[in-house]
C-alpha cells in the first residue's frame, strides 16, 4: 500500500517542461484539461510528485489559465507550457472519494474537480491551444518578487524563493485556512 500524503497547504512547483510528464486530456465530464505534474514539499524531509488538474471548460477556463500564469507560464501556447516551473505556489493536498474509491487530490488555490476520461487527440489539442492562445494573450505573465525566505499565506500565493532543498522539518508550511 502506498504511503499516505500529509494533507494540508504545502509549497509546490510544477516540474520543468517535460511534455511527456504533463498530461492533456478530457475529464469525466468530457471537458479538456491539463494535468500539471507538481513537486510538492512534504514533512520529514520528503518531496513528492502529484498531479494538479486544470480544467478548460467554459466555466473553469479563466481560473485555470490564471493558475498557469501563477505557475510562471510564459507565452500563449498550451502545447509548450514555457516557464511553467518558474514559481512556487501553495497547493492543498487532500483526499476525496470518487466512484467509491479514495484518491489523492492536489489543488492550486481552488478545487480541481475531475480526472481525464480520455486523452485529447492532436487535432483536439491544436484546437484547444488555439482557443486558449487568444485568452492567454490577454493575461500578463507573472514573475513574483518576494522578500527572501518569505512563505505563502495559504491563500494561493506564489513565490520565487524556494523552500529549503531538503524540505526538512525546519520548513513550516502555511497554516491551513479554518
What tens digit of pLDDT does each residue of 59-106 get? 998 889 989 998 989 998 888 888 989 888 888 889 998 889 998 889
Nearest to 96 by CA among 108, 87, 104, 106: 104
DSSP 44-65: TTEEEEEEEEEE-STTTHHHHH
What tens digit of pLDDT does each residue of 112-148 get? 333 455 667 788 888 888 888 888 888 777 765 544 4
d(CA 3, CA 53): 21
Where would I find the H helices in 32-165? 61-71, 122-138
d(CA 107, CA 110): 6
For the four alpha carbons of 162, 168, 172 and 177, in that order, the dihedral sign comes to: positive
120 with 32: CB under 8 angstroms?
yes
Amino acid at each position: 500500500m502506498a504511503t499516505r500524503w500529509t494533507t494540508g497547504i504545502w509549497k509546490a512547483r510544477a516540474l520543468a517542461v517535460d511534455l511527456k510528464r504533463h498530461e492533456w486530456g478530457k475529464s469525466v465530464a468530457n471537458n479538456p484539461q491539463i494535468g500539471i505534474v507538481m513537486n510538492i514539499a512534504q514533512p520529514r524531509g520528503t518531496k513528492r510528485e502529484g498531479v494538479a488538474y486544470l480544467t478548460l471548460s467554459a466555466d473553469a477556463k479563466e481560473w485555470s489559465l490564471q493558475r498557469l500564469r501563477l505557475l510562471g507560464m510564459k507565452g500563449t501556447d498550451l502545447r509548450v507550457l514555457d516557464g511553467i516551473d518558474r514559481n512556487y505556489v501553495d497547493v492543498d493536498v487532500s483526499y476525496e472519494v470518487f466512484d467509491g474509491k479514495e484518491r489523492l487530490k492536489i489543488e492550486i488555490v481552488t478545487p480541481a474537480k475531475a480526472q481525464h476520461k480520455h486523452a485529447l487527440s492532436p487535432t483536439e489539442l491544436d484546437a484547444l491551444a488555439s482557443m486558449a492562445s487568444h485568452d492567454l494573450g490577454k493575461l500578463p505573465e507573472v514573475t513574483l518578487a518576494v522578500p527572501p525566505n518569505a512563505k505563502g499565506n495559504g491563500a494561493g500565493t506564489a513565490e520565487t524563493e524556494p523552500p529549503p532543498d531538503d524540505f526538512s522539518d525546519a520548513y513550516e508550511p502555511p497554516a491551513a485556512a479554518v
